[in-house]
Chains A and B, each alone.
Chain A
Amino acid sequence: MKLTHITLATALFATAVFTSCKPKDSEIKANVETALKADMQMASTMVDVNDGKVTLSGECMDEACKAKCESTAAGVKGVKPPVINNLTVAAPMVTEPAPASTTTMLDDAAKQAVNDGLKDIKGITVDFTADKAVIKGEVTAANRMKIMQILASAKVQSDVSGLMEKK
């Protein structure tokens, strides 16, 4: 009898606790998106959340990526199983083999290579987002090309919208 009471009390308490800190759909959506953005291949996945239930849509490059998106989303706090996986897999590329530059990850070594190369180019600033180098400043056309070549050889994608032509 006592045990029943304790069990019931625990259950009620747990319900109260879990209800009070249940993440909102908008928070779950943001958390799932953040988790997916950790991997460039999954970054473009679209996420919808309705009462804790997550629906994934968009296009993945392969089945492995599609499965990883689903398991990543399912692992986020507050997500109610099952995750609805509406991702489609892109048709395989006609041209083979896959280029070496598709494995771009903006790790410390890549950032170092960019900084090493750009340090002698005057008048620019270099910042990094999760997957891009953001270059700003004023440069000559020749230096702009040098910057792009350095970024390409370091296999780093870039945002050069703030890079202006030096008058």
Chain B
Amino acid sequence: MALQDKYAQLLSAAQTHGVENLSVAEQNGVLHVSGTAKSTADYDALWALYSQIDPNMASGDLMMNIDVKAAAGAQLKVTTDSTNLNIRSTPSTEGEIVGKAAHNEIVTLIEKTDDSWWKVKTTQGEEGYAYAQYLSPI
């Protein structure tokens, strides 16, 4: 229970923000928190709290597996550092690059293929798989 105390502020924020299917469990010295945040802003707020409670997030005692709610057709912003985001033929970096989306460009979600890769369509009509962590629902 000690970890739930350490991250109590984060857990209560997750509830306040209405994270769906919120689930919390402690196992082998790691607190597992999962669920679906309603917006990218909520998601960012929870991660900011995490880095505040555990400076540099270096303790390795929290696995925060939270995604952001997004249905097919949702608009996603490309949140790369500054570079273009590759759009590929298959959900892997081994897939051929079939298109690119610029930093801050908006693309449309077709499906959440898995936790790491989402199928998207650019405004130019290019369709393929992009790495989900560089896409933020708006």
Contacts and interface: CB of A to CB of B under 8 A. Distances in A.
B64 interface: yes
B9 interface: no
Contact of B58 (A97, A152, A160): A160
A146 interface: yes
B58 A157 contact: no
A143 B81 contact: yes
A20 interface: no
Of the four ranges (under 10, 10 to 19, 20 to 34, 35 or more), the interface on chain B belongs to 20 to 34
Contacts of A105: none
A115 interface: yes
A99 B32 contact: yes
Contact of A150 (B33, B81, B117, B133): B133
B57 interface: yes
A155 B115 contact: yes
Interface string B102-118: 00000000000001110
Interface stretch (A22-30, A80-88, A116-124): A116-124
Given A115-B93, A119-B93, A157-B30, A98 B23 contact: yes
Contact of A153 (B29, B57, B65, B93): B65
B83 A104 contact: no
Contact of B65 (A40, A98, A101): A101
A146 B56 contact: no
A89 interface: no
Contacts of B8: none
B115 A153 contact: yes
Contact of A93 (B26, B58, B81, B93): B26
B24 interface: yes
B65 to A, nearest CB: 4
A93 B25 contact: yes
Interface in B49-85: 50-51, 56-58, 60, 63-67, 80-81, 83
Interface of B: 23-30, 32-34, 47, 50-51, 56-58, 60, 63-67, 80-81, 83, 92-93, 115-117, 131-133
